[in-house]
Amino acid sequence: MTNLVMIPAFGCDERLYSEIAPFLPSNVLISTVICDGDSMARCVEQVLAQAPLKFVVLGTSFGGRVALEATLAAPDRVQGLVVIGSSPGPVADQVAGLRRSERLRAGEAVQVATEMGDRIAHMDGPNGPAARQAFIDMCATLGPEALTRQSDALAKRSDLWQRLGEIACPALMLWGVHDKYSPAAEGLRMSAAIPNGRYVELADCGHFPTLEYPDETAAAIDHWMEDVGLSPKL
């Protein structure tokens, strides 16, 4: 049995991955950890406290960054890493990130979620509008306090590019070609920097492959896990 711990994106919960679960093999035991610490270090602590002793970690966007940091923090426990739409680099515009946190504290959670939702999915794709609405709905469920803590963690993230060579476990970078938050080129660069890295991209897809193309996303993850020996066929 392979333990697969999935960490949702900013504002999201287990619904981000509900569409891919039916497509994953029965010998993969899935769990979700929703991180809401106000720093990446606290989020990593949440993951390591809730995860099994040995596990494969998958994360999207904010969750992808947490997954990456958890892999670096506990290389003896993480057997494989899947990053979806998340850069190892520092925050591109800290002022904008801190401003987002200020708006959340000021009661603008609905506005922030709507603005982000407008860029989340590739709207011309078959599931783009539904993915956008799912994000907005999940943000409403998570609530402004957790959103603010996640925003603070994102605004304070550091540069990990130079540490990618430390990752010894197999790693999959999975990207939507039309990702407006983290360009696909970032995923390709990451896969080259990680010794056992691999890159897969999905056409007509934005920031949320698990919602926009769940069957293709699950197939890519399943194939990778089997190929690197993390999920042998039954």
- 90 assigned to some structural domain: yes
User: Residue 131 sits in a domain of what CATH number?
Assistant: 3.40.50.1820
Q: How far apart are CA 84 and CA 77, in angstroms?
A: 20
- 234 assigned to some structural domain: no
Mean pLDDT computed over every residue of the chain: 95
- 34 assigned to some structural domain: yes
Give the pairing of strands 2-7 and 171-176: unpaired
- What the block records as the tokens of 186 is 């970032």
Angle, to 10 degrees, between the axis of helix 128-142 and the axis of helix 109-120? 150
- 153 assigned to some structural domain: yes
The answer to whether 59 touches 83, Cβ cutoff 8 Å, is: yes
Q: How far apart are CA 42 and CA 221, in angstroms?
A: 27
Residue numbers of the domain that contains 124: 2-227
- 9 assigned to some structural domain: yes
Q: How far apart are CA 176 and CA 184, in angstroms?
A: 7
- 136 assigned to some structural domain: yes
Count: domains in the chain:
1
For residue 194, what are the β-bridge partners? none
- 233 assigned to some structural domain: no
Q: How far apart are CA 12 and CA 196, in angstroms?
A: 29
**pTM of the predicted structure, to 2 decimals:** 0.96
- 232 assigned to some structural domain: no
Range of lowest pLDDT (23-27, 70-74, 125-129, 175-179): 23-27
Instruction: Look at the block and give the residue holding tokens 């966007």.
Output: 61
- Per-residue model confidence as pLDDT tens digits over 137-188: 999 999 999 999 999 999 999 999 999 999 999 999 999 999 999 999 999 9
Give the pLDDT of residue 233. 67
Percent of the chain with pLDDT over 90: 92
- Per-residue model confidence as pLDDT tens digits over 209-234: 999 999 999 999 999 999 999 986 65
Confidence of residue 48 (pLDDT cuts 50, 70, 90): very high
Distances from the Cα of 144 to the Cαs of 16, 49, 150, 156, 171, in angstroms?
18, 24, 10, 18, 32
